Amino acid sequence: MSVIEHSGSDGNIYQDPFEGSMTGSLIKTKYVQWTDTEGDDEGELCVEPGVLFDASLNQYWADVAFSESDIKIASGSGFEFVPSLNEDTFEGCIWIYNLSDSMRTTIENDSQYITTIVSSSL
């Protein structure tokens, strides 16, 4: 399995999990937390990308392919990829694939949107 890397506008290197097979944009977003009580009354704490998740309805509102992104960091004598989600700030990056212009506009106007780091992976 080859690793496709993209330089982000923030100076970091990000991994493309679909290896360039789909056109994607890398979005930095705030994550939202919600409690899933479907399986039991106490519930399970869930963390979802804010630009794609409606916390009031506890569901994804956008019908798009996406994946959480990993970031390349120095490790010992080499490099490794780690999840971009910062659990202290609940901010992280997601790849969103095959966005229409109207969907892109909706996402960029969402209150959870922070910035676009890679506008197109192809």
pLDDT above 90 coverage of the chain, percent: 31
pLDDT of residue 54: 83
User: Which of left, alpha, beta for 20 (phi over 0: left; psi -120 to 50: alpha)?
Assistant: left
- Each residue of 73-103: pLDDT tens digit? 888 888 888 999 999 999 999 999 888 888 8
Whether the per-residue pLDDT at 122 is higher than 70: the answer is: no
Checking if the pLDDT of 6 tops 70, the result is yes
Q: What is the model's pLDDT at position 15?
A: 86
Backbone dihedral angles phi then psi of residue 103, each to the nearest 5 degrees: -65, -40
Buried b vs exposed e over 41-56: b needs ≥16 C-beta within 10 Å? eeeeeeebbbbbbeee
| Residue 87: burial class (beta carbons within 10 Å; 0-12, 13-18, 19+) | exposed
Residue 121 has pLDDT above 70, yes or no: no
More reliable by pLDDT, 43 or 88: 88
